């Protein structure tokens, strides 16, 4: 068997490997100088916000915070390669469709607005004004504004996102499918129910004070590398780090900090996790309940022995509702159930609970390993329950920390990208701008796809992103896009969604975050973003734009808006000419943005107040609310065990990708090189199937809806992962993630628990 693609794993995350990879990235980008210049300004007070992730920035941002994947994101945007009109003239759209995600973006930055020409099956250049006029006239011509879908990817700035939602609501719909629907939706919903605020309660400084940090379903070594620095500092001063992850992720085991010269010279590294638990996919609610059970048992034992209590009785009495019911639910959950569903032993869970009990201050962080399951909201409620037991919220060094994905996904929600807007927000828009706002809730991602498939949606506008590849059943979604009257993509680089043109189709190229955005008078415009810690800060690009024909996202939205709804309510051109004016409108309609234009220009920006962090509970009960659900009757992993040859599959990210953007074909931390069509699987499972490393198989979707789903030609990689749970990369595997399986309440595709089987491919 050919297993050349399986190689050595990095000994630790970070280190010289990261530096080497950076150098390579900068060289390949063809723009080392500008790249390096850009790098030095990332996440600095007077530079741009790194488009890599939504981790917070340190107070003293004077020295560059090194981050390999931040460099990749910046270099990827700063490439010298260009997808020009000549490039498009030389290739039909059908031919471009044969390129992989990796190859497509490698073609470089888009330079001109383009319009699809069906006769030649090519994209041809179009004048901005003509594009706006045609888009406006098609949108005006729809019978009903609810027949258009307005997608947002989480890189858009607060200013672009606010202007976009304003335009769309004046147009008359709340159809705002956004990447959040596939990402942290469950976190927002679960936390709003539990603590009244759908955002994390901690600040970066809290990581300096926590005695224990629980990291659940997250791979920061790849996706939030700057978080590793904070975890490492915590580990070095003796804080315990407890990881829940079915896969042994390098960055959570050991990290060598490129900022630490002594460590780099020694070739040393720091152990990150003090406890590494490997649950089955979807087993976290059971695991957390098990820890709660252990905490309650410890409380009983302490009471019997006359020792001081384990629970924070004062917090429970003063701040919480539903504790008695929760205790009963925990008692009703047996250890047998917990062990079977989590895949962890009682002893392991008790050891983790012991860390929790002994720690005065605990932070719990999580990401997609928690949010992309059927029972994600229930799991997040359980995490909150667990944290309430010892009052681990609303005091320093403690709290809940969902680690966001896209660099401004949290800000986009804050400024109104929401298909279910609150009445307060709509009232504020109506009073301030004096137009009748649409009140009916709109479409999220899955509803938008449903509407495209049943013909009730006729237009799709994408503010960034790669809708057709990021969504489940991606081959169906591609077809759905092609049936529309209008598709518009505001983008920086070509991707597969652009190659699914409707009757009229436009690619509108915009400035990236790292590029200078000058207005008519030549003044540099500032945008703003909000990180996972609710810090809002400014961002101004420093690189020369990839093409003189680019417009900023704000200008593009203003152009479409002017052509569609005119300037009766808002003078779009005036707002686009000075983003301070947009911020004045945000300040006037959204709480927390007082004095926005002044505070934004402070070095670290400002913090949006989080009531729960002050122990003010904006829940119906006015308290922190325990939930008392039973565990799911059966998870996909448990069901898979009953089916012959069935497995629970999670789809995650390699070290060389940013969502659907594939930077390269290696996954250094997992020892895979030059290949993305792989399945990580327990060696005992391979043996039981009579299979070996490198064997080729088709992955077959086994969702119970009778639809045949096949991801062809994947190869096995033996890996340290529990038996029955397997893993492979998104977006390639999105063809077998079923649209019909969505999280309860969150409606998020269940991309971390897909039932599959394998079909051997002929050795030929």
Residues near Mo ion (CB under 5 A): 183, 405
Shortest spacing between CB 36 and ligand MGD, in angstroms: 19
The reply to whether 284 sits near ligand MGD by the rule CB under 6 A is yes
The reply to whether 487 sits near ligand MGD by the rule CB under 6 A is no
The reply to whether 217 sits near ligand MGD by the rule CB under 6 A is yes
In Å, how far from its chain's centre is CA 762? 37
Shortest spacing between CB 735 and ligand MGD, in angstroms: 10
Q: Rounded to the nearest 5°, which phi and psi values hold at 41? A: -100, 0
The CA distance from 513 to 537, in Å, is 13
Shortest spacing between CB 176 and ligand MGD, in angstroms: 13
The CA distance from 464 to 160, in Å, is 11
Binds ligand MGD by CB under 6 A, chosen from 176, 244, 323, 669: 244
Contacts with ligand MGD in 541-570 (CB under 6 A)?
A: 553
The CA distance from 710 to 736, in Å, is 6
Q: How many other C-beta atoms lie within 10 A of the C-beta of residue 432? A: 12
Binds ligand MGD by CB under 6 A, chosen from 31, 203, 216, 535: 216
Contacts with ligand MGD in 34-73 (CB under 6 A)?
A: 52-53, 69
The answer to whether the Cα torsion of 372, 378, 381, 382 is positive or negative is negative
Shortest spacing between CB 556 and ligand MGD, in angstroms: 8
The CA distance from 193 to 386, in Å, is 15
| Helix, strand, coil percentages for the chain (3-state, nearest 5) | 40, 15, 45
The CA distance from 419 to 400, in Å, is 25
The owner of tokens 């991606």 is 474
Shortest spacing between CB 92 and Mo ion, in angstroms: 32
The reply to whether 652 sits near ligand MGD by the rule CB under 6 A is yes
Q: Rounded to the nearest 5°, which phi and psi values hold at 455? A: 85, 0
Residue 176 contacts which entry, ligand MGD, Mo ion, none (Cβ below 5-8 A, type-dependent): none
The CA distance from 454 to 349, in Å, is 47
β-strand 606-607 against 535-539: which pairing, if any? antiparallel
The CA distance from 508 to 78, in Å, is 18
Contacts with ligand MGD in 607-646 (CB under 6 A)?
A: none
Angle at 324 between CA 319 and CA 330, to 5 degrees: 115
Shortest spacing between CB 312 and ligand MGD, in angstroms: 26
Residue 333 contacts which entry, Mo ion, ligand MGD, none (Cβ below 5-8 A, type-dependent): none
- Rank residues 329 and 445 by Cβ distance to ligand MGD and give the closer one: 445
3-class state of residue 595 by DSSP: coil
Residue 505 contacts which entry, ligand MGD, Mo ion, none (Cβ below 5-8 A, type-dependent): none
- Rank residues 458 and 555 by Cβ distance to ligand MGD and give the closer one: 555
- Rank residues 147 and 406 by Cβ distance to ligand MGD and give the closer one: 406
Query: What count of residues does the chain have?
Result: 764
Candidates 16-24, 304-312, 415-423, 461-469; binding stretch for ligand MGD (CB under 6 A):
461-469
Shortest spacing between CB 179 and Mo ion, in angstroms: 6
Q: In terms of Cα–Cα distance, which of 685, 654, 686 is closest to 670?
A: 654
User: How is residue 198 written in tokens?
Assistant: 């759908």
The owner of tokens 């409108």 is 585
Shortest spacing between CB 279 and ligand MGD, in angstroms: 5
- Rank residues 17 and 172 by Cβ distance to ligand MGD and give the closer one: 17
The reply to whether 513 sits near ligand MGD by the rule CB under 6 A is yes
User: How is residue 172 written in tokens?
Assistant: 């008359």
Burial 656-684 (b: 16+ CB within 10 A, else e): bbbbbbbbbbbbbbbbbbebbbbbbbbee
Non-local (6+) Cβ contacts of 383 within 8 A are: 190, 216, 288, 364, 366, 370, 400
- Rank residues 183 and 288 by Cβ distance to Mo ion and give the closer one: 183
- Rank residues 115 and 653 by Cβ distance to ligand MGD and give the closer one: 653
The CA distance from 46 to 497, in Å, is 34
The owner of tokens 């005065």 is 360
Residue 386 contacts which entry, ligand MGD, Mo ion, none (Cβ below 5-8 A, type-dependent): none
The reply to whether 650 sits near ligand MGD by the rule CB under 6 A is yes
User: How is residue 224 written in tokens?
Assistant: 């939030």
Candidates 268-276, 306-314, 706-714, 731-739; binding stretch for ligand MGD (CB under 6 A):
731-739
Q: Which stretches does DSSP call E strand in 686-746?
A: 696-701, 710-718, 725-729
DSSP result, 434-494: -S----S----HHHHHHHHHTT---EEEEESS-HHHHSSSHHHHHHHHHTSSEEEEEESS-
Shortest spacing between CB 54 and ligand MGD, in angstroms: 7
Nearest residue to Mo ion, by Cβ distance, number only: 405
User: How is residue 716 written in tokens?
Assistant: 């096995």
The owner of tokens 């009531």 is 611
- Rank residues 142 and 216 by Cβ distance to ligand MGD and give the closer one: 216
Site string for ligand MGD, 115-154 (x = CB under 6 A): --------------------------------------x-
The reply to whether 218 sits near ligand MGD by the rule CB under 6 A is yes
Shortest spacing between CB 31 and ligand MGD, in angstroms: 16
- Rank residues 155 and 585 by Cβ distance to ligand MGD and give the closer one: 155
- Rank residues 73 and 542 by Cβ distance to Mo ion and give the closer one: 73
- Rank residues 429 and 679 by Cβ distance to ligand MGD and give the closer one: 679
Site string for ligand MGD, 79-118 (x = CB under 6 A): --------------------------x-------------
The reply to whether 696 sits near ligand MGD by the rule CB under 6 A is no
The reply to whether 188 sits near ligand MGD by the rule CB under 6 A is no
- Rank residues 284 and 675 by Cβ distance to ligand MGD and give the closer one: 284
The reply to whether 255 sits near ligand MGD by the rule CB under 6 A is no
Non-local (6+) Cβ contacts of 75 within 8 A are: 25, 26, 28, 29, 31, 35, 38, 39
**Burial of 46 per CB tally in 10 Å (0-12, 13-18, 19+):** exposed
User: How is residue 257 written in tokens?
Assistant: 């900090």
Site string for ligand MGD, 400-429 (x = CB under 6 A): -----xx-----------------------
Candidates 92-100, 120-128, 364-372, 388-396; binding stretch for ligand MGD (CB under 6 A):
364-372
Shortest spacing between CB 463 and Mo ion, in angstroms: 15
The answer to whether the Cα torsion of 316, 318, 319, 325 is positive or negative is positive
**How many residues interact with ligand MGD (rule CB under 6 A)?**
60
The residues of the shown chain that bind ligand MGD, judged by CB under 6 A, are 52-53, 69, 105, 153, 155, 179, 182-183, 216-219, 222-223, 244-247, 249, 279, 281-282, 284, 367-369, 372, 405-406, 463-467, 470, 490-493, 495, 510, 512-513, 553, 650-653, 657-661, 730, 733-734, 737, 751-752
């Amino acid at each position: 068997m050919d297993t050349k693609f399986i190689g050595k794993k990095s000994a630790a995350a970070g280190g010289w490997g990261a530096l080497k990879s950076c150098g390579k990235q900068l060289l390949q980008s063809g723009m080392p100088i500008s790249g390096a210049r850009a790098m030095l300004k990332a996440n600095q007070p007077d530079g741009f916000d790194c488009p890599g992730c939504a981790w917070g920035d340190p107070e003293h941002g004077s020295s560059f915070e090194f981050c390999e994947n931040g460099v990749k994101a910046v270099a990827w945007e700063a490439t010298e390669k260009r997808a020009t009109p000549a490039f498009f003239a030389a290739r039909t759209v059908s031919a471009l469709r044969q390129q992989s995600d990796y190859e497509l973006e490698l073609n470089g930055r888009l330079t001109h607005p383009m319009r699809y020409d069906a006769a030649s099956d090519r994209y041809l250049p179009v004048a901005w004004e003509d594009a706006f006029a045609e888009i406006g006239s098609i949108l005006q011509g729809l019978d009903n504004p609810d027949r258009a879908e307005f997608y947002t990817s989480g890189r858009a700035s607060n200013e672009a996102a606010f202007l976009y939602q304003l335009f769309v609501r004046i147009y008359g719909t709340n159809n705002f499918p956004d990447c959040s629907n596939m990402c942290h939706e469950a976190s927002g919903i679960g936390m709003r129910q539990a603590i009244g605020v759908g955002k994390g309660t901690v600040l970066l400084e809290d990581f300096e004070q926590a005695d224990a940090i629980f990291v659940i379903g997250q791979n920061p070594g790849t996706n939030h590398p700057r978080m590793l620095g904070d975890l490492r500092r915590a580990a070095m001063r003796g804080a315990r780090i407890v990881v829940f992850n079915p896969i042994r992720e390098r960055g959570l085991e050991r990290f060598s900090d490129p900022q630490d010269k002594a460590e780099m010279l020694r070739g040393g590294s720091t152990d990150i996790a003090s406890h590494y638990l490997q649950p089955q996919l979807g087993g976290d609610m059971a695991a957390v309940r098990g820890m709660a059970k252990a905490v309650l048992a410890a409380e009983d034992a302490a009471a019997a022995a006359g020792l001081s209590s384990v629970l924070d009785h004062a917090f429970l009495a003063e701040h919480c509702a539903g504790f008695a019911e929760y205790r009963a639910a925990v008692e009703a959950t047996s250890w047998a159930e917990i062990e079977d569903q989590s895949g962890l032993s009682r002893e392991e869970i008790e050891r983790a609970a012991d860390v929790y009990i002994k720690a005065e201050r605990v932070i719990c962080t999580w990401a997609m390993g928690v949010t992309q399951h059927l029972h994600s909201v229930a799991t997040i409620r359980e995490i909150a329950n667990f944290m309430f037991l010892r009052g681990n919220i609303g005091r320093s060094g403690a709290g809940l920390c969902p680690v966001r994905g896209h660099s401004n996904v949290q800000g986009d929600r804050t400024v109104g990208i929401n298909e279910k807007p609150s009445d307060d927000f709509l009232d504020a828009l109506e009073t301030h701008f004096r137009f009748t706002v649409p009140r009916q809730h709109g479409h999220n991602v899955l509803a938008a796809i449903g509407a495209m498939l049943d013909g009730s949606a006729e237009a799709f506008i994408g503010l960034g992103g790669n809708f057709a590849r990021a969504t489940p059943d991606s081959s169906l979604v591609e077809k759905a896009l092609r049936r529309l009257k209008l598709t518009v993509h505001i983008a920086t680089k070509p991707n597969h969604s652009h190659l699914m043109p409707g009757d009229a189709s436009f690619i509108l190229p915009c400035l990236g975050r790292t590029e200078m955005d000058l207005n008519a008078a030549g003044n540099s415009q500032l945008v703003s973003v909000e990180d996972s810690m609710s810090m809002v800060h400014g961002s101004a690009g420093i690189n020369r734009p990839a093409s003189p024909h680019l417009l900023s996202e704000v200008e593009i939205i203003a152009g479409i808006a002017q052509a569609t709804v005119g300037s009766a309510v808002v003078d779009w051109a005036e707002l686009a000419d000075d983003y301070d004016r947009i911020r004045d409108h945000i300040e006037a309609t959204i709480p927390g943005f007082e004095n926005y234009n002044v505070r934004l220009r402070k070095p670290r920006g400002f913090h949006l107040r989080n009531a729960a962090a002050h122990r003010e509970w904006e829940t119906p009960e006015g308290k922190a609310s325990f939930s008392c659900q039973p565990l799911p009757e059966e998870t996909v992993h448990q069901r898979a065990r009953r089916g012959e040859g069935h497995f629970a599959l999670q789809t995650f990210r390699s070290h060389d990708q940013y969502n659907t953007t594939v930077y390269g074909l290696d996954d250094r931390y997992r020892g895979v090189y030059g290949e993305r069509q792989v399945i990580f699987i327990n060696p005992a499972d391979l043996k039981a199937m009579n299979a070996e490393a490198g064997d080729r198989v088709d992955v077959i979707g086994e969702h119970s809806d009778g639809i045949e789903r096949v991801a062809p030609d994947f190869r096995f990689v033996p890996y340290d992962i529990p038996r029955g749970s397997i893993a492979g990369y998104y977006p390639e595997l999105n063809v077998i993630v079923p649209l019909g399986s969505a999280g309860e309440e969150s409606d998020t595709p269940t991309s971390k628990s897909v039932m599959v089987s394998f079909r051997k491919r002929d050795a030929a």
